[in-house]
Amino acid sequence: MATATPKTPRRSGSSGQAEPGCVRGKANRDGKREGGATKGSRRRLITDTARAPGPRRQTPPVLRIIASEEDVREGVRALRRRCQTMRMVHDAAGDPPLRRRPAGFEGLARIIVGQQLSVASASAIWLRTESLCQPFEPGAVQQLQDFALASAGLSRAKIRTLRAICTACTDGLDLMALAARSDAEIQTALTAINGIGPWTADIYIMFCLGRGDAFAAGDLALQVGAQKALGLKARPSADELLAIAERWRPWRGVAARLLWNYYAHLKRLGRATPV
């Protein structure tokens, strides 16, 4: 006579249904359910989820300011360690000059006055221009007659640009406040002024604000200096030089000074065509 197999009593509190949030499956060799989770693992899952951090805040890059000769030397040391070309350029031409200008209206005006001139000519014309009115401010410069500005040595194009800057400042542009803005925002604000292009904006960021990673890729002398230093067959375009300069971050401003210095060195040796 066959004996009936007794039914295994169901544990109290168990409905036989999978708990919410788990997938029910067969038990494996370790006593865990395949495709599912044990109570211990569910507790860990809940705990880990509760402790999971939110999205990490990206730390903004450190804004390096070149304010002294020591800042330039720090950048030179960093570039020498990382780049053989920068090491060669520095060995050949030595430490580059600081080249700082005041921020604000005076600094921007001085960049306009010195465009496409030798250092000596730019300095002489600037001294004559600055002496026309004191303090040298937008309102006072706007009152000057064109013939007075021309007598200082300014071309008609530079007089127009200088007046456009004066108008922008009197209409509300705060040049000193640009120091708190990003490079892109500064470029947008400055190139909105009639007569100011990307080169002027880049030079303002480099020499008036002293930003260590600023780079004037559109500068012809900088392009020739890079061509000679890197042994390129042709002078790189602004876009090509920007791509090359990525290797010099976050010291592109010092790399530019080194290349300008190298270009001047080659000119003295008669190995570079003046631009």
CATH code for position 233: 1.10.1670.40
Regarding whether 202 and 152 lie in a shared domain, the answer is yes
Domain-located, residue 246 = yes
Domain-located, residue 204 = yes
Q: Which domain holds residue 257?
A: 69-98+215-269
- Domains in the chain: how many in total? 2
Regarding whether 171 and 121 lie in a shared domain, the answer is yes
Regarding whether 87 and 117 lie in a shared domain, the answer is no
Regarding whether 92 and 222 lie in a shared domain, the answer is yes
> What is the predicted pLDDT for the residue at 61?
62
Give the rounded percent of residues in the chain with a pLDDT score beyond 90.
74
Within 8 A by CB and 6+ apart from 63, the residues are 211, 212
Domain CATH code at residue 182: 1.10.340.30
* 132 pLDDT more than 60: yes
* 149 pLDDT more than 90: yes
Domain-located, residue 51 = no
Domain-located, residue 221 = yes
Regarding whether 246 and 197 lie in a shared domain, the answer is no
Both tokens of 210, joined, read 């002293």
Nearest to 95 by CA among 113, 72, 117, 121: 72
Domain-located, residue 34 = no
Among 34-48, 179-193, 254-268, the range scoring the smallest mean pLDDT is: 34-48
Regarding whether 245 and 120 lie in a shared domain, the answer is no
User: pLDDT tens-digit profile of 46-88?
Assistant: 344 444 455 555 555 678 999 999 999 999 999 999 999 999 9
Domain-located, residue 30 = no
* 25 pLDDT more than 80: no
* 169 pLDDT more than 50: yes
> What is the predicted pLDDT for the residue at 275?
72
* 186 pLDDT more than 60: yes
* 8 pLDDT more than 70: no
pTM comes to 0.77
Give the rounded percent of residues in the chain with a pLDDT score beyond 70.
77
User: Given its phi and psi angles, is residue 101 left (phi above 0), alpha (psi -120 to 50 degrees) or beta?
Assistant: beta
